[in-house]
Amino acid sequence: MAEFDLIEKYFAPLSMDGLKNDTAVLDISAGHQLVVSSDTSNRGDHFVEEMSAFDAARKCLRANVSDLVSSGADPLAYQLNLALPKDLDESWLADFAAGLAADQKEYGIVLSGGDTTGMSAGGLSVSITVFGLVPTGRAVLRSGAREGDVVVVSGILGDAYLSRLHMPSPPLVLAPLVRKYAHAAVDISDGILADLGHICNVSGLSARLEFDKIPLSEKGRAALENGQASAEELLTWGEDYELAMAVAPEDIECFQKQAEALGVALSVAGIFEAGAGVKVFDRNGQEMSFSKTGWVHF
């Protein structure tokens, strides 16, 4: 199928203006700032061959929505760049577009444009740039953590390692509460040790985590007990797409109650203190050792 026929058939219906122009014009409401983030996902590295095209599309888009949530931003639109094998089965593309349509409805976001190109057989890459809105001056950055803040984690971690077909669900409903309560935040895409480390680095602090307080699922805890997985694998594999946040101790009770009312569990897993890096301690108070902190791209 020719490039423009492909765009007209599968992606124009997902857009705000039918993709009739080379540029998109986005309105930003008064008193707001634009939050922008990009992610690239490659088949075989970021979504597995066994994953349906429908789910691959959802996973790619959700990885970007997760970045918006960590900034406390509300989704607006996204740009989609596809590098597709020239022998791609068109049914795969139809399912991919259907997956995008489903999550556009789920997360209140629309396609604003992008690019499509062919590549050598076998390779397939999806690059998304997402745009969100946040009230002026209210974007939550990685640099705002304060000594004495508690480390707050949303949802559960580690299940992505246990399931090659794991589908993340970034907690978009938390965005207004992130703006209200979090001094700093990051989405957990490369593993909590690596991503929390980003907050520590730019905030000039250390994070002390208690391993038993890190929210793992029952499946994750069972995997630890039976030797199916190690603590390092569960904490450093990444792709959880939950949030790690710095929150004042006096705010945590209200934050947890309001998040629970929205169906999101929050766990206090540690504290920010003077120093550098992320340290994890077991139930006996002994620091745990890890050979790596998270997913390594190269």
The residue ranges of every structural domain in the chain are: 3-19+33-135, 142-281
pLDDT at 298: 62
Beta bridge partners of 43: 47
The residue behind tokens 């890190």 is 214
| Overall size of the chain counted in residues | 298
pLDDT at 296: 73
Q: Which residues of the chain have pLDDT under 70?
A: 1, 297-298
Residue 72's identity, in one-letter code, is: G
3-19+33-135 in CATH: which number? 3.30.1330.10
For 240, residues 6+ apart whose C-beta sits below 8 A from its C-beta are 155, 156, 157, 158, 159, 160, 168, 188, 189, 191, 192
Contact 187, 241 (CB under 8 A): yes
3-state secondary structure of 71: coil
142-281 in CATH: which number? 3.90.650.10
What is the distance between the alpha carbons of residues 138 and 182, in angstroms, rounded to a whole number?
10
The token pair that represents 208 in the structure block: 């002390």
The token pair that represents 298 in the structure block: 């190269």
Could you tell me the pTM of the whole model? 0.94
The token pair that represents 56 in the structure block: 């691959």
